[in-house]
Amino acid sequence: MYNLCSGYLFIVKKLLLLSASCWLLVLQACHQPTDKAYALMLKGLYKGTVRVLQPRELEAILAAGEEKPLLLDTRQPEEYRVSHLTGARFIDFEKFEVAQLQEVPKDTPIILYCAVGYRSERVGEQLQEAGYTNVRHLYGGIFEWVNQSKPIYDDQGATDRVHAYSKAWGVWLQKGNKVYGKE
């Protein structure tokens, strides 16, 4: 009887240890997103209706001496005020109308971004429907840009501050100084 009880306790202790280890991994994953988890989340979020541009590709385009694309930040005003990509023109996602870009030729290279890419893809869809032919959006948005240690700016110059949109979305921002709320 003693051996049966001690064997049972041994199995229970092992199961508890395994269970605790699994929970620690899950909790760690919730607070420390991996590149694979972020990619999986974006895959579920994106419709694939607008071509994607990787951060390294945009960095090369911006560094080249050639004609720059029209870079559009599709976030909310408080997000843009905290930081944005250099040379980005702000267009408010919630108030966007294609008519705001009537002076832009339909073949102009346009690159859109937001926090993670959802809003920029929606604006890209509107632009494509209106006849714009060279529209792309930044993969992973400004979060992925910052996570890859690429520069962002505010009205004063270079900054490390990023508007994280909300605490729920902020888990995907691994680098930079997270800012929440209105500024």
Q: Which residue ranges make up each domain of the chain?
A: 1-32, 35-179
Query: Rounded to an integer, what distance in angstroms lies between the CA atom of residue 178 and that of residue 67?
Result: 32
Query: Rounded to an integer, what distance in angstroms lies between the CA atom of residue 129 and that of residue 113?
Result: 18
Burial class (CB in 10 A: 0-12, 13-18, 19+), 19: exposed
Query: Rounded to an integer, what distance in angstroms lies between the CA atom of residue 66 and that of residue 62?
Result: 9
Output the tens digit of pLDDT for each of the chain's 183 residues: 445 555 555 554 455 444 444 443 443 444 445 589 999 999 999 999 999 999 999 999 999 877 789 999 999 999 999 999 999 999 999 999 999 999 999 999 999 999 999 999 999 999 999 999 999 999 999 999 999 999 999 999 999 999 999 999 999 999 999 999 876
List helix spans (H) across 32-105. 35-45, 55-63, 77-82
Greatest Cα pair distance, the chain, in angstroms, is 87
Is 72 in contact with 104 (CB distance < 8 Å)? no
Report strand pairing: 70-73 vs 89-90.
parallel
Given 1.10.8.60, 3.40.250.10, 3.30.300.340, 3.30.499.10, which CATH number is that of 35-179?
3.40.250.10
Look up the pTM and report it.
0.80
